Structure 1
Amino acid sequence: MKKKIVIALLLMVTAVLSAQQSFFDNYVYQNWNSFGGLTGTTTTDIYQTSDGYINIGTYEGLVRFDGVEFKTINKQHNKNYTFSSVRVVLEDSKGNIWVGSNDEGLQRISQNGNKTYTMDNGLPNNSVRAIVEDKIGNIWIGTAAGVVYLTPSGHMITPQFEAGTVSKGIIATTLYCDTAGRVWLVTANDRGLFMYSGGLFRNRPELEKYGNYFVSAIAQDLKGDFWVGLGEDGILKIRGDSVEIQKTGTILDSVSTCSIYVLKDGSLLFGTDKGLVAYNNGAYTHYAKSGIGEVKINKIISDREGNVWIATEHSGIGKFKHGKFKMTKLLTEKQTPIASNAIAEDHEGIVWIGTNEGVYCYQGDKEISSPLSTYTKGIRIRHIAVTQDDQILVSCYSKRGQVLFNKKTGKIKSWTVDKGLAGNKVRVAMENAPGEYYVGTTTGLSIIHSDGTIKNLKQLDGLENEYIMCIHKDNNDVVWIGTDGGGIYLMRNEVIIANISSEDGLSGNVIFKITQDKEKVYWICTGGGVSRCYSFDSAHVKPNSFETINMDNGIGTNSVFQLIPDDQDNIWYTSNYGIAVVKSNDLIESAQTGRPVTTVQFYSRDDGLDSDGTTSTALSIRDRHGRLWFTMVDGFAIYDPSKYRENPVLPLVHIESVKVDNVEIEPTENEIKLKPGTKRVDIKYTGISFDAPERIQFTHRLTNFEDDYSEPNLGRVVSYTNLSPGKHTFLVNAINGDGLKSVQAEQMLFVQKPYYYQIPAFWIILVILIFALLILVFYLKQRQIKRENARLEKMVNERTKELAHEKDKSDSLLRSILPDKIADELRDDIHVIADNFSDASILFSDIVEFTKTSSGHTADEIVNALNDLFSRFDERAKQMGVEKIKTIGDAYMAACGIPSPCENHAKIMIDFAKGMYQDLEEYNKTANIKFVIRIGVNCGPVNAGVIGKTKFIYDVWGDTVNVASRMETACSPSKIRVTEEIKQHLQNTDIKFSDPIECNIKGKGLMTTYDIEY
């Protein structure tokens, strides 16, 4: 009894857990300095402007950062700026950016023009140390020799100090505007805290009791309380008239505070001379992880996505972002990393982790002690499993062999070679039945029976490859044995019944893991990819085929160690490239069709994986709470979906630069004019989202060059060559790591100027000149003929030829008016021609609002426009076997199936109608008079023929014609309206119809009609 109590106590938490997690546990820190692209290591200020960029003050100038690239601005790079170094940065409420320099005054950067302020125009000193905007738009400027402020109208005013206080020679260090609009001033002098009130800067009387106090920072929290850094004397909290020194138990009590920042959730961050401290939920936390150390922090801010940024004295800038993973490092006594190889969760929710140094035990994310940990200390563990009765199976890669730990009794049992095991290097173990275990070693498979006997299977027993990597029992009670190079062996009733290898379609013969999903589909992780196999009768047959997922499917690797489904319909996988996740339906569709996955996301250190990578061929899990535990080469990582929130802030997108034939061009009002002969245009753009800037993707399009946006990609530069003359608008969108797209595409207009021969007017003039030249030549020729009577006979012959030519023209004209068959009959014997056709298709088109469109143009312009458009229709009708009947004003009538019957007349006519819209689109691209048409089509019996002896035409009449005309009248602009008869003719074709449209047709009543979808 006492033994059981001792064991139970050992399994309990061995230390009192803290009431709260550290504030910094959910943050990941990233640092940039001169080795990361930043100019210099000392940063004086940091500020995010409304365009999204992080602006950094350095001794080399103003540095703008988009998360990927740093760009330095100073007067050496651009003559529009007057500063070399930057001390402070501010963006005011009007969008102006104010840059205070070390010794060159203050410059306002504005779209309306830049302006510089120095001692020559009112500043007390050219070294600007602090700047702030108050509630009414005044810009307060603190220098190394006093304070002034600029009014919205541009007047510079020097504020006065209360009598008895220091007003001259002060060195301003901080200016702060509180929620009431009051301006606070901190100076480098003793008793250097002032509040501007009643037209004067006044000392705070409640601080008098602290004597010659020194103030280093100030901020107001969300409750309205003020927090004041008293140099090395700690932190002071002012609430109303109450003043109290805070006892923090951290470096704040003895180290000078340089910056105080209040987060949106009310937490406070204190930047000191020796690091960072947070105050959250009543507790102070000193950030003691690697990355900052005892560096001086000059400024703290939070960006629009909630990331925290710091500017430091000698370590560049840093960013704290909410990590997606919580990483726990495991270290030996010598502080060397310990790799974890397997993780399992027992029935009580205790997590057991097998490592290269034994078994670790965790409850509530905190390590607890266990006899099993003591027993396996220093031993390499390859696998851990939990039995049905909550015992722990531990596979050791040493003389311990296979271990079974009974939590209730504390008893530990071990099977080794000495006790009949196939080998002491155990890779995996599985409970097959109560008291019966399948143990895979590097030298064969052992079956431990409930009576204690052991049966070993090796090459002579059909297990040709004895190196066991994994074991899985399927829904048919067949045991799948994955090997290192020999594929999979299927076993039933302790007998090998089949072998599956790459010859059977398996992706590879090195088998890492085998699982089945809810639909009993097999997922097999191999060294050559993932094989997917639908459920089959594994007890009697081998699988017929496999679906393969590998690098070609966009998962980034061929060797997937393990697949882990989560509760959000995702599949996580581990490989030598780390941890990745993909939507399960996306992965399944990729396996079925072979197309690349589109939702895969890879994770890195920026997401909280502060590790050198995942452990190969290891076992990770999803626990009962839906959290994912991953084995890492230096510990383990936990991903908790309930704590992860997608970034709801839409990314910003900017076009940063444009190069035309390798020369950078400054855009003028978002427009760039390109000279004739421009060969190449390079456009560089960026997306602003600091949550995961390396995952931002872009889609772009250049109008009149590309029809659609590009597929999302990580590229930030796109090039275009040989643009056609005209206007081209470049559009680009940014998509952040969570798939959110920028709210509006960034635009840039390019105007490509043409050569003279690319201008339509040039060709018009050229045609006119050629035509005039031809007339002149003809005239001279005719005059020569008249003068040369000797050549009269030749002229007569030429006249004769001209008569023959005219006859051919008359025949051609007749055929252009009438169908060939009818023209031949009329030419030979003019008589009344009329035929009945049992089935033909009739089309009517009409120009929408023709009268309104034509009212502003001359008759010649209208006729020329109609001729241009209808000529295109005529040419298409001729190509497609459609008979043009006639044009009536702006209406166009055609038929198919007459005078020669055609079985596919309805299909041909619909294709012709679609072609008419293509011709219209091409016509409208260049036409001065643009048209919109509508088309109606019907089919059925008609009469057709030629009536009369003069001015005859080939015409069609009958009820079918009338209904076709009514279809055109009922049709909407840019649509094709057809009858039920047309739909019946086309029901077995690829033509798509709209839903039925009920129309009240004149002379017919209510009819069911349809629009053709195209």
Structure 2
Amino acid sequence: MQHFATYLLGLFSLLFTFGGTAQVFEFNQFGPGSGFPSDGAYAIAEDELGRLYVGSEGGGLVRFDGFDFEIWDHTTELTSDTVRSLFFDSSNQLFIGTDHRGLWKMQHDQFERVDTAYDVSGAQIRAFAEFDEQLWVGTKGEGLFRVSEDSGLVHINELDESNVRCLLVDGQQQFWIGTDHGLYNQSNGNYILRSEEELQDRILALFEDNQGRVWVGHQNGLSVIENGAIVQVVPEVISHSRIRAIEQDEQGHFWIGTRIGAFEFHEESGEVTVFGTQNGLSNDRIRDIHRDRSGSLWFATYFGGICQLTGQSAAHYTLAHGFPETSVVSLVSFGDSLLFFNSIDGDLYQWKRGDQVQKMLPPIADEGVQATLAKIEANQPSFATLKDNQEVLIHEAWQDIYRFNTFTKDATVLNYVGNEKTTAFVTEDFFEINGDRLTDIDLACGELTDIAINDSLCFVGSSCGLFAFAIAESGNVIIPKRAGILPIEGSEELKIIDIEIDSNDNVWMATERQGIFRYGGKVKHYSDRYLSDLRVSSLHLDPLENLWVVTRAGIDFIELDPTQEFVLNHESYGNEEGIDGQINDVIFDFLEPNTVWLATTQGLIRFDPEGAFINEEAPGIVLDGIRLNYESVDWSVYDLSMNKVGLPVDLTLPYDANHLSFDFDGFDLSQPEDLIFQCRLEGLEEEWVDLQEVRSHTYPQIPPGDYTFQLRARNSDGFWNEEPLSYAVKIKQPFWMNPLFIAVMAIGLFLAVYGFVQYRLRRLRRANERLERTVLERTEEVRQEKEKSEALLLNILPKDTAEELKEKGYAETKDYDGASVLFSDLKGFTSLSEKITADELVGLLDEAFKSFDRLCDEFGVEKIKTIGDAYMCATGIPREDPLHAENLVRFAFGMLESMKKLNQRNREKGLPECDIRIGIHSGPLIAGVVGERKFAYDIWGDTVNTAARMESSGEPARINISASTFELVKEHFNCESRGKIQAKNKGELEMYFVVDEKK
């Protein structure tokens, strides 16, 4: 065994050094093959709209809008092919420093040479600054100048330096001048050279960071000045380089441009990465670095044109850029910067940041060999590999090599975990903890997939759920004595791919196609909407115990609340963020908690979700043309003043020039193809019109009026212009819409119409009057007929019953608990008819009944009907009345009085007299309407029959009442008892004569 270990140790001690190993970001390169006119670029600036200006070597001044390059060279007004420096002053005027062609300024795409009495045609204009409300110019060969409005360039004789290479005015309004012999401060017209030896070098770059520190790049390194003193923040790897450019990205990292590439410096961690042709840049020699308003970084290079870096989310370490492996299987990190990884071939590598990658094991190319990296003890990496049915465990010291276990058959180690007292691994068919083995048969499960342990529990994931085992104090698993070990309740249907244990002993489970689950006493499912793909291959917990889930589509981040019950946020990262290839393993950076390391089939990826440049600056927008009837127009013929893009300030057009097309543009250098525009013509439209992939919008046949064309744009990160671009347009009215013309025409038309209308109105009034008279006459006739019909109906039926009959078409029969019925007839009426004529007889009867009808109205009595000389009426119907008996008795006295008067008149006329006999009974009855034609309101019941017997058993001129009526009226009337009288079909009935009313 010792010889075997010595042999292996000799192999493992072989170190393989890979020079130039570096990360690579995605750079966009622009050179002669992509429209940029030159291989060399000197300076980069950006205007207020977000367009990029580049000073090139041999290609003149170049402007880039994200799609096209516009060039001004010696064939244009600029007259120069080499532009050394660029500067936008506070009024957004561009100053252009050329090589031996003087100083120029550019405004509205027009060039003007800055007049000067001092000849600078032999100098290179290298730098600009705006100080004390004046422009300062640094040159190589002629020194420092100030731009005067009166005399142009004024030479600064007080600075005895001919080569001024860079200028800076910091946030404290200190003026810094970098020369070939050191760094100067200007104060009250005095130029003071810094005394530090390292600052008396050739100064090539000046930059102020977001903390107000001044970074000084010089011939032999980089210095940082804070509060007037040099501070040591620059790592050794940069300190002796020739620094030409300095910039700070959105994350606060510094980018240093040198002759050997661009250094990315993370001040917090001290990590430095060099970018050159081997990992993304088009050329190693950097002349300028500029961060644009979108956050993108631009690099001006010596021989590679310009490069753009739009994000730093995914840094790639690949074989093409010096990394030793194309496919990385697993990762383990120890300490602050030690990283171990192994390849698909079984090779193990150690990598310390800032150092070389070292190969720790020779290739293990035997078929079926599998390897797994694991962290067994604190800060002790281990490498588990299976060969010839043996597993080998190697500790960090690379000295203790021993055979860990011998298998009875070939197996694939799926995971290998451990702590100070327990080591465990799992294969598809079994798992072992400190030598104790359980197989898939013991678990009655088809396939085991993963294992996780803590101090007291062991969890095993499988294709049929999650199994849990207790771990004894010794570190060995406690195997249940009962037969048939069952999975945890609620997990039986889960096909588990990967498991993790958090600090609260919750078990997180990634399933084959069912999403993410958590077990913490019971199984809980997290919604699938947090996953970009349900085909999950693994899950991982970061230091804050948020979830990172690897799927076929990339990796998903799930941020949980402190209780881990609720999802606070979730993001998905894939190809668009630079994550390509299949993800095999994930670890988290100790120094930068937001950084994730991914082992993939396309190499190693260092992924920082916050590394994406979030472009919070809305796109710059400009209205650069207005066309009439789709044709370009020379607006100067309209005799209007023009704005800076050659458009009328106040565009006023005749009514027939109302077919307008507005041409516009937007600028966002990070992702110009994703710009979205919206426009509207205020005064004509309320809603915004969405425009994609077009930079023009047409409004045909705009009606006369005052309008404002409004335009806004959104960048790829969703930020819109807060204030839209506005342009006023007025369409004149035609002469026939002139107010005076309209007024005259309106008056004439009014008079003509008025005369005609008045004529028509007179005729119409007369016709209406005739019609109204006719209508009134017909209406009155209808009203009278209606009143007659209603009066006739009321004579036949009670009012309520009549209303019910008109409304419904029928009247319902009603029961009454208490009512009084009166029957009367004329004594000797039959014999009387023999003594007088028929007319006299009918007249006598009519006069008697009319007097009774009037009494009905007076006493509220409802007349029921007359039959011959009989008169029948009732009270208490159709409306119930508690005084029905009293009222009917009073009505009976009225009938007697009426008959006395009638007999008196008959005596005077010589006509015979007749007496009336009256009978009243009180009790329940039924009332209603019978018949379909010639309606009749009638009453029924024993009360009616008894009332008839009261009448027939009475005497002339007397009121005969029953006992029930007597009980109701005895308090108000004097009555005379008749005793019991025999009544037809009724037997003996108690009867009373009403004498008079009590006083």
Distance 2:420 2:130 in 1: 76
Cα deviation for residue 312 of structure 1 reads 1.3
1:581 matched residue in structure 2: 557
Distance 2:698 2:457 in 1: 64
Q: Relative to 1, partners in 2 of residues 1:200 and 1:531: Cα closer, same or farther, differing over 3 Å? A: closer
Cα deviation for residue 262 of structure 1 reads 8.4
Q: Which of residues 218, 238, 244 is equivalent to 1:259?
A: 244
Distance 2:383 2:487 in 1: 28
Distance 1:14 1:156 in 2: 69
Cα deviation for residue 481 of structure 1 reads 3.6
Cα deviation for residue 777 of structure 1 reads 4.2
1:43 matched residue in structure 2: 41
Q: Kindly indicate whether the alpha-carbon contact (under 8 Å) linking 1:428 and 1:439 is maintained by their aligned counterparts in 2.
A: yes
Distance 1:760 1:588 in 2: 74
Aligned residues: 711
Distance 1:565 1:477 in 2: 18
Q: Which of residues 293, 312, 334 is equivalent to 2:301?
A: 312
RMSD: 7.3
Q: Secondary structure at the match of 1:358?
A: coil
Cα deviation for residue 470 of structure 1 reads 3.9
Cα deviation for residue 98 of structure 1 reads 1.0
Matches for 1:406-485 after TM superposition, within 5 Å: 410-415=400-405, 419-421=407-409, 423-429=410-416, 437=424, 439-441=426-428, 445-448=429-432, 450=434, 452=435, 454-457=437-440, 463-464=445-446, 466=447, 469-471=449-451, 481-483=461-463
Post-superposition CA distance 1:819-869 (Å, at most 9, x none) = xxxxxxxxxxxxxxxxxxxxxxxxxxxxxxxxxxxxxxxxxxxxxxxxxxx
Q: Secondary structure at the match of 2:583?
A: coil
1:685 matched residue in structure 2: 666
Moved more, 715-724 or 521-530: 715-724
2:829 matched residue in structure 1: none
Distance 1:455 1:185 in 2: 77
Q: Relative to 1, partners in 2 of residues 1:435 and 1:663: Cα closer, same or farther, differing over 3 Å? A: farther
Does structure 1 residue 748 correspond to structure 2 residue 726? yes
Q: Kindly indicate whether the alpha-carbon contact (under 8 Å) linking 1:621 and 1:628 is maintained by their aligned counterparts in 2.
A: yes
Q: Relative to 1, partners in 2 of residues 1:758 and 1:284: Cα closer, same or farther, differing over 3 Å? A: farther
Post-superposition CA distance 1:184-230 (Å, at most 9, x none) = 777xxxxx9999999999999999xxxxx99795769999998764x
Q: Relative to 1, partners in 2 of residues 1:426 and 1:750: Cα closer, same or farther, differing over 3 Å? A: farther
Cα deviation for residue 91 of structure 1 reads 1.7
Does structure 1 residue 90 correspond to structure 2 residue 87? yes
TM-score normalised by the chain length of structure 2: 0.51
Does structure 1 residue 117 correspond to structure 2 residue 117? no
1:72 matched residue in structure 2: 69
The one-letter code of the counterpart of 1:108 is K
Distance 1:420 1:430 in 2: 21
Distance 2:333 2:215 in 1: 47
Q: Kindly indicate whether the alpha-carbon contact (under 8 Å) linking 1:394 and 1:402 is maintained by their aligned counterparts in 2.
A: no
Q: Which of residues 799, 808, 812 is equivalent to 2:769?
A: 799
Q: Kindly indicate whether the alpha-carbon contact (under 8 Å) linking 1:134 and 1:181 is maintained by their aligned counterparts in 2.
A: no
Post-superposition CA distance 1:432-489 (Å, at most 9, x none) = 9976846233xxx213365x5755437x98545x4x5445689998956445xxx757
Distance 2:438 2:253 in 1: 63
Q: Relative to 1, partners in 2 of residues 1:760 and 1:721: Cα closer, same or farther, differing over 3 Å? A: farther
The one-letter code of the counterpart of 2:599 is T
Matches for 1:922-941 after TM superposition, within 5 Å: none
2:540 matched residue in structure 1: 564
Matches for 1:528-927 after TM superposition, within 5 Å: 528=513, 530-532=515-517, 548-549=527-528, 556-567=532-543, 570-584=546-560, 600=571, 602=573, 613=580, 615-620=582-587, 626=593, 628-633=596-601, 635-637=603-605, 651-656=617-622, 684-687=665-668, 727=707, 730=710, 732=712, 744-749=722-727, 775-781=754-760, 798-801=768-771
Q: Kindly indicate whether the alpha-carbon contact (under 8 Å) linking 1:140 and 1:175 is maintained by their aligned counterparts in 2.
A: no
Matches for 1:313-352 after TM superposition, within 5 Å: 313-318=302-307, 323=312, 336-344=324-332
Cα deviation for residue 126 of structure 1 reads 9.3
Q: Relative to 1, partners in 2 of residues 1:668 and 1:496: Cα closer, same or farther, differing over 3 Å? A: farther
Matches for 1:236-247 after TM superposition, within 5 Å: none
Cα deviation for residue 102 of structure 1 reads 5.9
Distance 2:218 2:504 in 1: 62
Q: Kindly indicate whether the alpha-carbon contact (under 8 Å) linking 2:42 and 2:288 is maintained by their aligned counterparts in 1.
A: yes
Q: Kindly indicate whether the alpha-carbon contact (under 8 Å) linking 2:385 and 2:393 is maintained by their aligned counterparts in 1.
A: no
Cα deviation for residue 288 of structure 1 reads 6.6
Distance 1:807 1:770 in 2: 41
Q: Relative to 1, partners in 2 of residues 1:184 and 1:433: Cα closer, same or farther, differing over 3 Å? A: closer
Distance 1:101 1:574 in 2: 54
1:32 matched residue in structure 2: 29
The one-letter code of the counterpart of 2:601 is V
Post-superposition CA distance 1:512-532 (Å, at most 9, x none) = 434577898876545657345
Cα deviation for residue 353 of structure 1 reads 3.8
The one-letter code of the counterpart of 2:328 is S
Higher gyration radius (CA): 2
Distance 2:323 2:443 in 1: 46
Point out where structure 1 has 5 or more consecutive residues left out of the alignment: 16-21, 187-191, 208-212, 240-247, 592-596, 787-794, 809-1014
Distance 1:236 1:339 in 2: 38
Q: Kindly indicate whether the alpha-carbon contact (under 8 Å) linking 1:28 and 1:321 is maintained by their aligned counterparts in 2.
A: no
Identity of aligned residues (%): 13
Q: Relative to 1, partners in 2 of residues 1:114 and 1:513: Cα closer, same or farther, differing over 3 Å? A: same
Distance 1:570 1:267 in 2: 26
Q: Secondary structure at the match of 2:757?
A: helix
Cα deviation for residue 321 of structure 1 reads 8.9
Q: Kindly indicate whether the alpha-carbon contact (under 8 Å) linking 2:178 and 2:204 is maintained by their aligned counterparts in 1.
A: no
Q: Kindly indicate whether the alpha-carbon contact (under 8 Å) linking 1:384 and 1:395 is maintained by their aligned counterparts in 2.
A: yes
The one-letter code of the counterpart of 1:96 is Q
Moved more, 40-49 or 218-227: 218-227
Post-superposition CA distance 1:757-791 (Å, at most 9, x none) = 999999999999998776454345468x59xxxxx
Moved more, 671-680 or 28-37: 671-680
The one-letter code of the counterpart of 2:431 is I
Distance 1:800 1:522 in 2: 99
Q: Kindly indicate whether the alpha-carbon contact (under 8 Å) linking 2:207 and 2:214 is maintained by their aligned counterparts in 1.
A: yes
The one-letter code of the counterpart of 1:107 is W
Q: Kindly indicate whether the alpha-carbon contact (under 8 Å) linking 1:686 and 1:716 is maintained by their aligned counterparts in 2.
A: no
Cα deviation for residue 97 of structure 1 reads 0.8
Q: Relative to 1, partners in 2 of residues 1:304 and 1:439: Cα closer, same or farther, differing over 3 Å? A: same
Q: Kindly indicate whether the alpha-carbon contact (under 8 Å) linking 1:342 and 1:353 is maintained by their aligned counterparts in 2.
A: yes
The one-letter code of the counterpart of 2:515 is V
Distance 1:703 1:568 in 2: 51
Distance 1:316 1:729 in 2: 39
Distance 1:774 1:227 in 2: 90
Q: Kindly indicate whether the alpha-carbon contact (under 8 Å) linking 2:416 and 2:425 is maintained by their aligned counterparts in 1.
A: yes
Q: Relative to 1, partners in 2 of residues 1:622 and 1:482: Cα closer, same or farther, differing over 3 Å? A: farther
The one-letter code of the counterpart of 1:457 is D
Distance 1:619 1:530 in 2: 18
Distance 1:225 1:474 in 2: 50
Q: Kindly indicate whether the alpha-carbon contact (under 8 Å) linking 1:566 and 1:622 is maintained by their aligned counterparts in 2.
A: no
Distance 1:695 1:518 in 2: 46
Cα deviation for residue 150 of structure 1 reads 6.2
TM-score normalised by the chain length of structure 1: 0.51
Post-superposition CA distance 1:779-828 (Å, at most 9, x none) = 45468x59xxxxxxxx96553335689999xxxxxxxxxxxxxxxxxxxx
